[in-house]
Chain A
């Protein structure tokens, strides 16, 4: 149990376009979802935290107008990278946390590799 999926697993887009990444909790309700970014050979850095039905909380240095997060339901959160640029190329990983044990900890998705040309 406690499976988190992401779609797409990889995406290539042109500079200036927007791209949406989906994160789904498949077998539990996720009250909170987290978005991380990982640049090559670096660690995961938390970008934002979103609670179902409320606005996301962004970490310092993350542009909320550029990285739009929507957590519209208890099983789905989306990250939209608007007006993407090559420097946004990265590996994006989401995680989801349930309401109560045993899903109260974070479960990570498989990641989405974004390449902006």
Chain B
């Protein structure tokens, strides 16, 4: 069965601090996809990244970076120099190669960035 764990329920940081959101997953598939979504108070999911299981390169996009480690089944997300606008709930998700069956969301991490 597919499972995604985000151990941090809530995190509070002060603006400009770096913060890392943890994500650990379980799957029996050899090919799978991992995602991060941001859900601001409006509720709409904002797609941040999709990573194929065969691509273990870390990725950086502006202040965002992701560390994918297959050996530990983790896909962690770091925000550098956090800003108040980063305050939201962040979900890690896991999908099989067909993007439909077994698309599982983690429980989410609520990030509060204080001014």
Contact = CB atoms under 8 A, between A and B. Distances in A.
Interface residues of A, number: 19
Which range contains the number of B residues in contact with the other chain? 10 to 19
Contact of A42 (B43, B100, B103, B107): B107
Main secondary structure of the interface of B (DSSP, over half): loop
A10 to B, nearest CB: 9
B50 interface: yes
B105 interface: yes
Given A42-B107, A43-B108, A105-B50, A97 B100 contact: yes
Contacts of B42: 110
Contacts of A97: 99-100
Nearest to B47: A108
A109 B59 CA distance: 26
B91 interface: yes
